[in-house]
């Protein structure tokens, strides 16, 4: 007897043996138990996830002579015929090669005949999306109202190509991508049955390359077994499948995170010697960045990461000191590199330069850490006034320095929050105009109601009531809170009241007047310090009474 590949030898023969599709097997089993099975079913999903196998299992469950709780016995004549593809009353049609209207007309004529044995006649149409438009039209009426003894099971990998008129007549079942851990565990089980030694890392490598398809993974396992002719190691599997060892992937990933450009050159040499496919390697790195961002966002969401536990632990340790923004930067650069690879005449050059560019990119620190003062170098200690007095021109600058240092020392010691009134708020808004002009233009129209128990109350005028809604936005609130913390210190928060015609506090007109007063005071202060004005006062022994702006 000729060799039978693993995908056929270990094909699922009951719903209990199906891997990764519990939501479908449970639904179909309950439908059988409750006698609520629809007359037309549509199985859709990725290749190699069990669509055709499920169709055959369902056919056996319906026609088995001795089912146990609607589980086929796989021993009776009917089950054996269905498993071997010889059943007269289970007709499997390949939609790719029988896609014309004539084939569907023959099917429609065949539907009217009763089954030769058993209760049901079952039609399984694989790759149904390949049918022509006229074939679909010929199938419509029969699919909607078939005889009571007929069950239709349609299977496809491209459900978007099926007309809505067909979809509306079927009960749809979506087969999901099988998680890598379940594939790796199943491969380990088959290796034990075949008495083949296999490393866990090697099976994970095969499962990862299978990309959620059990059939693809089993085919790759068959290939690896034939190549190694014995023990399956990660190195041997990488060699036969043309993949890169995970250790080298993590080594390159570490060079990107830590910006080790010199070490990256060494890694590029290893990659060149291994003959690594640039596209596949960058895809591995992009998935690594995806896993990293999920871990940084929610460390408990390990269920979304298809990696062995030891790799998840290793990844978490590598990204512990890396900011989310830095990971986003690397991911954007990775996507740009993948796009460039598809257009490049020499993909290897683009691949190497992209990795070097990422390893030399500036690192982005987390804004929250910067505001909190984390991971920042300590500021230099201020020089004592006595040391400054020993320098040239000490007599001219010692007194101002003495006055400047004393208030700072007091403020450093004191921990009481500053009092915030309308003047301080107005000065804060004016200060923002030099750094956050767009944001300052929004909040300068808010009325300062007051500050009580470290809560700043603001209120928009009636004609600008929409400002209250804008400041409810999470991003706007975070930005506003950060600016308040930077100006007045930690502990303050703010609220934006609804606009009212009799709003309390300073009106925009009053604030505008105060703005003018502050501007005049600032101009007066500048005039007072002007050397020409000081010289004039000294000569004429007078004081400045009126200041006038030049038009």
Q: Domain segments of the chain: what residues?
A: 6-175, 178-243, 249-365, 422-512
Task: Give the integer Cα–Cα distance in Å for 400 and 382.
Answer: 15
Decide the pairing of beta strands 40-45 and 150-156.
parallel
Q: Identify the pLDDT of residue 397.
A: 42
Q: Identify the pLDDT of residue 513.
A: 59
Please state the three-class secondary structure of 408-421 as a single string.
Answer: HHHHHHCCCCCCCC
Quote the pTM value. 0.58
Which residue, among 95, 111, 92, has the nearest Cα to 52 in the 3D structure? 92
Evaluate whether 235 touches 245 at the Cβ level (below 8 Å): yes
- 182: phi then psi, degrees, rounded to nearest 5: -65, -35
Task: Give the integer Cα–Cα distance in Å for 371 and 365.
Answer: 11
| Owner of token pair 């070490």 | 263
- 123: phi then psi, degrees, rounded to nearest 5: -110, 120
Task: Give the integer Cα–Cα distance in Å for 187 and 206.
Answer: 9
Which residue, among 422, 419, 514, 420, has the nearest Cα to 459 in the 3D structure? 422
Q: Identify the pLDDT of residue 242.
A: 72
Tokens standing for residue 189: 């089980």
Task: Give the integer Cα–Cα distance in Å for 467 and 500.
Answer: 13
Q: Identify the pLDDT of residue 381.
A: 52
Decide the pairing of beta strands 40-45 and 121-126.
unpaired
Which residue, among 278, 441, 264, 466, has the nearest Cα to 358 in the 3D structure? 264
CATH class of 422-512: alpha beta
Any idea which fold 6-175 has? Answer: Rossmann fold (3.40.50)
Helix/strand/coil for 28: helix
Q: Identify the pLDDT of residue 292.
A: 92
Q: Does domain 249-365 have CATH number 3.30.460.20?
A: no
Any idea which fold 178-243 has? Answer: Helicase, Ruva Protein; domain 3 (1.10.8)
Q: Identify the pLDDT of residue 401.
A: 42
Per DSSP, the residues of 422-434 read HHHHHHHHHHHTT
Q: Identify the pLDDT of residue 394.
A: 43
Task: Give the integer Cα–Cα distance in Å for 207 and 518.
Answer: 70
Task: Give the integer Cα–Cα distance in Å for 301 and 314.
Answer: 16
- Low-confidence stretches of the chain (pLDDT beneath 70): 1, 244, 366-418, 499-520, 545, 547-551
Q: Identify the pLDDT of residue 448.
A: 83
Which residue, among 101, 90, 91, has the nearest Cα to 139 in the 3D structure? 101
Q: How is the beta sheet containing 447-452 ordered, strand by strand?
A: 447-452, 455-459, 493-496
């Amino acid at each position: 007897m000729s060799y039978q590949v693993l995908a056929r030898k270990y094909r699922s023969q009951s719903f209990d043996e199906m891997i990764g599709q519990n939501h479908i097997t449970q639904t179909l089993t309950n439908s059988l138990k409750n006698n609520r099975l629809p007359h037309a079913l549509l199985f859709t999903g990725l290749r190699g996830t069990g669509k055709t196998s499920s169709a055959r299992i369902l056919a056996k469950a319906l026609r088995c002579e001795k089912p146990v709780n609607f589980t086929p016995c796989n021993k009776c004549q009917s089950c054996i015929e269905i498993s071997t593809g010889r059943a007269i009353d289970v007709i499997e049609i390949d939609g790719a090669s029988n896609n014309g209207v004539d084939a569907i007309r023959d099917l429609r004529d065949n539907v009217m005949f009763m089954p030769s044995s058993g209760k049901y006649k079952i039609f399984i149409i694989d790759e149904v999306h390949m049918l022509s438009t006229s074939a679909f039209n010929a199938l419509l009426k029969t699919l909607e109202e078939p005889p009571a003894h007929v069950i239709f099971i349609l299977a496809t990998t491209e459900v978007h190509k099926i007309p809505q008129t067909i979809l509306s007549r079927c009960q749809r079942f979506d087969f999901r991508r099988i998680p890598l851990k379940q594939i790796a565990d199943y491969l380990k089980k088959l290796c034990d049955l075949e008495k083949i030694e296999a490393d866990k890392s090697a099976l994970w490598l095969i499962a990862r390359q299978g990309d959620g398809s059990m059939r693809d993974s089993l085919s790759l396992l068959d290939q690896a077994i034939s190549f190694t002719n014995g023990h399956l190691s990660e190195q041997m599997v990488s060699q036969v499948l043309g993949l890169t060892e995970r250790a080298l992937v993590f080594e390159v990933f570490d060079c990107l995170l830590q910006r080790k450009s010199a070490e990256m050159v060494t890694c590029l040499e290893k990659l060149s010697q291994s003959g690594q496919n640039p596209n596949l390697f960058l895809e591995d790195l992009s998935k690594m960045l995806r896993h990293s961002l999920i871990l940084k966002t929610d460390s408990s969401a390990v269920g979304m990461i298809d990696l062995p536990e030891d790799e998840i632990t290793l990844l978490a340790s590598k990204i512990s000191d890396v900011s989310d923004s830095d990971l986003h930067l690397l991911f954007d650069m990775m996507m740009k590199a993948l796009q460039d690879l598809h257009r490049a005449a020499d993909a290897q050059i683009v691949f190497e330069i992209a990795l070097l560019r990422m390893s030399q990119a500036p690192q982005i620190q987390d804004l929250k850490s910067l505001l909190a003062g984390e991971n920042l170098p300590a500021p230099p200690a201020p020089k004592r006034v006595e040391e400054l007095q020993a320098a040239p021109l000490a007599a001219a600058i010692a007194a101002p320095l003495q006055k400047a240092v004393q208030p700072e020392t007091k403020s450093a010691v004191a921990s009481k929050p500053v009092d915030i009134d309308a003047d301080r708020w107005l000065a804060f808004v004016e200060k923002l105009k030099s750094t956050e002009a767009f944001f300052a233009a929004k909040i300068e129209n808010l009325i300062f109601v007051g500050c009580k128990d470290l809560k700043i109350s603001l209120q928009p005028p009636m004609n600008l009531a929409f400002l209250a809604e804008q400041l409810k936005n999470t991003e706007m609130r975070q930005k506003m809170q950060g600016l308040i913390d930077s100006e007045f210190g930690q502990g303050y928060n703010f609220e934006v009241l609804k606009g009212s015609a009799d709003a309390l506090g300073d009106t925009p007109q009053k604030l505008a007047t105060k703005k003018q007063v502050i501007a005049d005071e600032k101009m007066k202060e500048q005039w007072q310090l002007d050397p020409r004005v000081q010289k004039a006062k000294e000569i004429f022994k007078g004081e400045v009474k009126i200041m006038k702006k030049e038009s």
